[in-house]
Amino acid sequence: MSGVSSFSGVSGPSGPDCRICLLKNGDAPAVAALETVCFSDPWGEPEFASLEESRLDKGFAAWVGETLAGYAILRTVAGEGELLRIAVRPDVRGRGIARKLMEQVERAAREAGADSLFLEVRAGNKPALALYRASGFEENGRRKDYYRFPTEDAVLMERSLSPLEDGDGVSI
């Protein structure tokens, strides 16, 4: 898997393009810094530092110029994919970056042989819930008081994935 998936319009019609590519170990400091901006209970740099060597996990970065605009982490095990993390910088939200990251995660999960994709999200995270529903996810359960800082339920969501067809490979 090589190459880069790009799309335009992230910063407006005259702004720079956004490219989606695989996370590299050297991206860990930037990812961890964005993690602290986006999550009240953030993962640390070590959690992101070894993604490149992982057999189960794959990370994707969305870059606007030289700036990390967002990232997503996928884990695939035994025919199931799980979206572990997805985040977009607050100042570039609403410009399609999360949607493009979700599309890349779904393609990668399908390529890895997953027939379903799971995630959990804070019950109060309305923008994320809207993104996931628009991406074909449906609620299939809750975990009471799962999240900390603040305490909040987790909404469990699932999406079935169709098998890969000829020409449907991951673009990065």
Distance from C-alpha of 86 to C-alpha of 168, rounded to nearest angstrom: 23
Among residues 132, 147, 152, 165, which one is catalytic? 132
Among residues 35, 106, 120, 152, which one is catalytic? 120
Give catalytic status of residue 132 as yes or no.
yes
Tokens of 108: 């990668």
Give catalytic status of residue 146 as yes or no.
no
Distance from C-alpha of 119 to C-alpha of 54, rounded to nearest angstrom: 19
What Rg, from alpha-carbon coordinates, does the chain have? 15
Q: List active site positions.
A: 120, 132
